[in-house]
Amino acid sequence: MSTHPSVEKFKDLFEEELETLYFAESQLLKALPLVKKGVFNKELAHVLVQQTAQTKIYVKSLKSALNHLGRRVSITRNATSEAMLSELTHLVKRFPRGNLRDAALLALLQRLEHHRAARYLSTIALAKQMGEEGILDFLKEAASFDSVSAKRFAQIALQVNAEAFIDTHSERCPPAVPPLT
């Protein structure tokens, strides 16, 4: 999807990965406030506010990293990120506000966090090879935050899923859900 010429050097690969991260984080920054407005669970709304604040930092840090490398910030689109973010806004429209919508959003948010963490981890390997210690520190911090966020979403999902199950008047009793440790 990129309009960049073919990648022939390792440095170009590294920079393109940073641009892809920049695009994904910029798109997420636009989507999170819309998603937050559509959630029912207060804890989830709070986590989304924190996620938005952290994503703003990521966008600034990625832009700084690209500037540090002498790369003009351009958009390297990513189909996977675009599809997940499109699905987030679609879910807000598709489901009525409540626990069932939150359960659907949490399932997608968990997948999105795992995708983000994987993208950061793969870019960490590139940064190590490039010897980019300053950028490496930021990437490690981002990967760590995404891992923690995924766990928080999973914990919230346990409660929201149980409530959504009850709300939809299912005939079976919901399973007991032990807390995550």
The DSSP output letter for 172 is: S
At which residue do the structure tokens 């500037």 appear? 67
Q: Answer yes or no: is pLDDT of 2 > 50.
A: no
Tens digits of residue pLDDT in 13-34: 999 899 989 988 998 998 899 8
- Which of 57, 82, 73 has its CA nearest to residue 18? 73
| Res 22: pLDDT | 92
The pTM of this model reads: 0.82
Q: Answer yes or no: is pLDDT of 47 > 80.
A: yes
**Helix, strand, coil shares of the chain as percentages rounded to 5?**
75, 0, 25
65 CB-near residues (< 8 Å, 6+ apart): 18, 132, 134, 135, 138
Tens digits of residue pLDDT in 74-115: 766 778 778 888 888 888 889 999 999 999 999 999 988 888
Q: What is the CATH number of domain 10-167?
A: 1.20.1260.10
Residue 100 · residue 154 · CB < 8 Å: no
Q: Answer yes or no: is pLDDT of 159 > 60.
A: yes
Tens digits of residue pLDDT in 49-71: 999 999 999 999 999 999 999 88
- DSSP states of 107-137 as a string? HHHHHHHHHHHHHHHHHHHHHHHHT-HHHHH
Q: Distance between CA atoms of 181 and 121, rounded to whole angstroms?
A: 23
Of the given ranges (3-12, 22-31, 141-150), which has the lowest mean pLDDT? Answer: 3-12
- Which of 114, 90, 106 has its CA nearest to residue 48? 106
Query: Exposed e or buried b for every residue in 133-146, given b needs 16+ CB within 10 A?
Result: eebbebbeebbebb
